[in-house]
Amino acid sequence: MAGKSIGYVRVSTSDQHTDRQLAGLELDRVFTDSASGKNTDRPQLGAMLAYVRDGDVIHVHSLDRLARNLIDLRRVVSDLVERGIAIHFHTENLVFTPDETINPMSTLLLSMLGAVAEFERSLIRERQKEGIAAAKTRGVYRGRRPSLTPDQIAEIKQLASTGVPKAKLARRYDVSRETIYQALKSAL
C-alpha cells in the first residue's frame, strides 16, 4: 500500500499567505505553521512529524520553509529518511527517499542551501537590530506593548494572594504563566 502525500507549509507571520506554497499538488493532509523558522519548536511541524508513517512522502515548498538552521534541517531530513519517510523540496527539486542511498550531490546541495537559508536569517536579524537601534536614536521606537495593564497587574496580585492558581490567571488574562510570574514580581 502506498503511503500518504503530506504537505508542510510555513509562513513567518499570520498576515502572510500560504496560497503559493504547494499549489496544485494533491495532498492527503497539510500541516500549516505561522511561526519563525529559527528552530523546530513549531506546533504543526511537531504534529506532522508525529503523524507521518513509513512510506509517506512529505512535500515542502522550499528548504527554508522547513528550517532556517542547517543543523535542524539536516537532523529533520535524516530522521525522516531513517523512519522510511521521503521528503520532497519542490523549489530546489531535491528529493530524499529511504529506499535509495542518499545521493552525495543531494546531501551537498541540502547543506549548501541550508547554510544559505541560515545566513539569510542572520542577515534579517542583523537588519532588524540595526533598524531598532536607528529608531531608538530617532526616539520613535516604543518596543512591544505590555501584555497587561497596571490595573490588570493589580488584579492579578490580589487574586494570586487569595490562592488562585497561576495557570488559571494566565488563561483568564490570555497570557503565558511566565507573564503572570513577571507581573507578580513587578513593583506596581
| Partners of 94 in the β-ladder | 89
Tell me the C-alpha distance between 157 and 183, whole Å. Answer: 8
Catalytic residues: 12
Tell me the C-alpha distance between 70 and 63, whole Å. Answer: 10
How is residue 90 written as a grid cell? 519542490
